[in-house]
A and B are shown apart, each in its own frame.
Chain A
Amino acid sequence: KAGVTQTPRYLIKTRGQQVTLSCSPISGHRSVSWYQQTPGQGLQFLFEYFSETQRNKGNFPGRFSGRQFSNSRSEMNVSTLELGDSALYLCASSLAQANEQFFGPGTRLTVL
């Protein structure tokens, strides 16, 4: 079974731009969660989607948004990028709530 895939793996943007990251979960997994990882703040939960609905949301500004498609693939979007948005963005999928999460390799975003 293929693992969680994320594209692109690396991305360089400038302040003010917007970016879209993609995540394909493990086949059969309907829950997709997104996390931001930075050296200063560690791993922080962004949001979780299940069956195309956002079920949970972390404490991030409205510039961070996401969606999930009927095939469970998910995208997250960050608008009006700031320098502080530079981070490793990790996507994780699971069969259901309270189950183990399987992480993708991440997308490393650098904002200049």
Chain B
Amino acid sequence: SQQGEEDPQALSIQEGENATMNCSYKTSINNLQWYRQNSGRGLVHLILIRSNEREKHSGRLRVTLDTSKKSSSLLITASRAADTASYFCATDPDRDNYGQNFVFGPGTRLSVLP
């Protein structure tokens, strides 16, 4: 089963509203990253949060990490139509235990309606 699982699978909001997406994972991690993908193109890195960090901000993005619950959330404030995309969380499992590279969840499809 996948390491990262985003929730919800799809989200529709109006422009100006906030969007919150959640990610849960199963194993211990070194870091967790969020990416955006527009319509079958390459992924764009949004933000990286390390396992010893609890919250990080970048512009309109706010990411939290709760390692005790093995979960993370991505908040996009004041959403715009251009934010319409799929959002993925990716975990970098602790290699000592699992020896694997980044594991992506299935993604959340965000639609921001004008």
Question: Residues on A close to B: CB < 8 A?
Answer: 4, 33, 35, 42-45, 48, 55-56, 58, 88, 90, 92, 97-106, 108
Contact = CB atoms under 8 A, between A and B. Distances in A.
Interface of B: 2, 30-31, 33, 35, 40-45, 48, 88, 90, 92, 95, 99-107
18 contacts: A42-B2, A44-B104, A45-B101, A45-B102, A55-B101, A88-B40, A90-B42, A90-B43, A98-B31, A100-B45, A100-B48, A101-B33, A101-B90, A103-B35, A103-B43, A103-B45, A104-B42, A106-B40
Contacts of B35: 103
A20 to B, nearest CB: 19
Nearest to B40: A88
Given A42-B107, A100-B33, A58 B100 contact: yes
A84 to B, nearest CB: 18
Interface centre among B45, B48, B101, by most chain A C-beta atoms within 10 angstroms, is: B101
A97 B41 CA distance: 24
B45 A45 contact: no
B45 A101 contact: yes
Contacts of B2: 42
Given A33-B102, A43-B88, A45-B100, A105 B48 contact: no
Listed residue (A44, A48, A58, A100) with the most chain B CB atoms within 10 angstroms of its CB: A100
A45 B33 contact: no
A48 B101 contact: yes
A108 B104 CA distance: 19
A72 to B, nearest CB: 16
A33 B42 contact: no
